[in-house]
Amino acid sequence: MPEMSVADEAELFLKMIADPGCEPGLYECLACFVARRVEDVGCDDTRLWTQWFRDLKSPTATALETRLFDLGVTCDCRLVTRGYRMHRALLVRDLMTDELSAPDEMPDCAGVRRTSTKPCANWERRPLDDWQPPRHG
Ligand SMILES: [Zn+2]
Ligand SMILES: [Zn+2]
């Protein structure tokens, strides 16, 4: 990730303040928030939203970064493709392929403690050997 100048950071901050969707809800969890932001604005190969969430909710949770990095979460979209997965109970079965996939509409966050950086009940830890590169076609 390239170093950001103070001006860049200030601009980013203003952009974030201007967009109400970029504030995590009071009890919204990290995984729901980041999934929501990645869906809205995409992933730019940084952990911008993960860090933003951490800064706002739990500035002292500095171990979070390391913990996520160990899970292979090197950018925001990987938080919800590698780090965590949607809980099975929320997945929908594709009648054609019989595969389970995430619903089109993200379910509402089940809620966590205000300063928690853990995902809510909508998510579960993905087993480390479970990850496969996304298939094309
Ligand atoms: Zn990404
Ligand atoms: Zn949640």
- The helix or strand, by DSSP H or E, that contains position 21, with its residue range, turns out to be none
Q: Looking at residue 55, what is its pLDDT?
A: 92
Which ligand neighbours the alpha carbon of 42 most closely?
1
Cα separation, 89 vs 86, whole angstroms: 8
% of residues, the chain, pLDDT over 70: 85
Report pLDDT for 16.
67
Does the pLDDT of residue 27 top 80, yes or no? yes
Find all residues with CB under 8 Å of 99, minimum gap 6, and list them: 93
Residue 4, Ramachandran bin (φ over 0: left; ψ between -120 and 50: alpha; else beta)? beta
CA–centroid distance, residue 46 to ligand 1 (Å): 7
User: What is the percentage of the chain residues whose pLDDT exceeds 90?
Assistant: 50
Helix, strand or coil, per DSSP, at residue 35: helix
What's the mean per-residue pLDDT of the chain?
A: 85
**Once rounded to an integer, what is the mean pLDDT over residues 74-90?**
92
Kindly identify the ligand whose nearest atom is closest to the C-alpha of 120: 2
